[in-house]
Amino acid sequence: MNKKAFSMSIIVLLVGLSGCLGESESIEINEANSQLISLEIINDCENTQINVQSTELSNGSILDTTLGINVSVYHAIYTPNVSELVFGYDTNLDGTIDVFDNSTKGVTNISIPVSEIEFVSDDFFLTSIAGIATASTGISTQLVHLSNDCESLSNVNLAQITVYRDDFSSYDFAVTDAS
């Protein structure tokens, strides 16, 4: 084989191999992108309401019964595979979607029963729900903390709340800045 034929054979072989290598890289990139599900949820804490049922008793007094809370939650989801998207909220954190909303963005009004709520006082509550987005290629979840006091959500790390019910007046406490 002469020098020209040998050089052409090497060039053809290199071109063929470089095409294969480039193809495998693009497949890996596409496979990585197909796993992507981005989920963001925002709680409208200013319009959260305690759902109270008032009943007039036979003696003329009124009995107020707390049934639950009504909240509005905004969500936005990005995934390359929108056609197979399933989205909803798990209101009791049992791993099952209780309220479905398969849109990629929007506001959902959710009623949460009193059994799923932690009342800190008569007019202040905390609870958590989960947003769950799934497609055939992956899953994304986000915990959402709900309260009727917006300041409590913005200033407190809810994962580190500790409630003390005893009298600690005999102790000296110092407040330090956590930032």
The whole-number average pLDDT for the span 15-41 is 52
CATH number of the domain to which 146 belongs: 2.60.40
Task: Clarify whether residues 70 and 29 are in a common domain.
Answer: no
Mean residue pLDDT across the chain? 73
Q: Which of 88-92, 105-109, 113-117, 169-173 has the lowest mean pLDDT?
A: 169-173
Is 161 among the domain residues? no
Query: 138-179, pLDDT tens digit by residue?
Result: 888 888 888 877 777 665 454 444 444 445 455 555 555 554
pLDDT above 60 (res 45):
yes
Q: Quote the pTM value.
A: 0.61
Residue 70 lies inside a defined structural domain of this protein: yes
The predicted-structure confidence for 66-78, as pLDDT tens digits, reads as follows 888 888 889 988 8
Q: Are 153 and 44 in contact (CB under 8 A)?
A: no
Q: Kindly give the residue spans of alpha helices, DSSP state H, lying in the chain.
A: 3-34, 150-155
Please give the residue that has the higher pLDDT: either 103 or 157: 103
Among 167, 164, 154, 137, residue whose Cα is nearest residue 46:
154
Residue 70 lies in domain: 38-156
Q: Where are the beta strands (DSSP E) in the chain?
A: 38-43, 49-56, 62-78, 86-90, 99-100, 105-113, 118-121, 124-135, 138-147
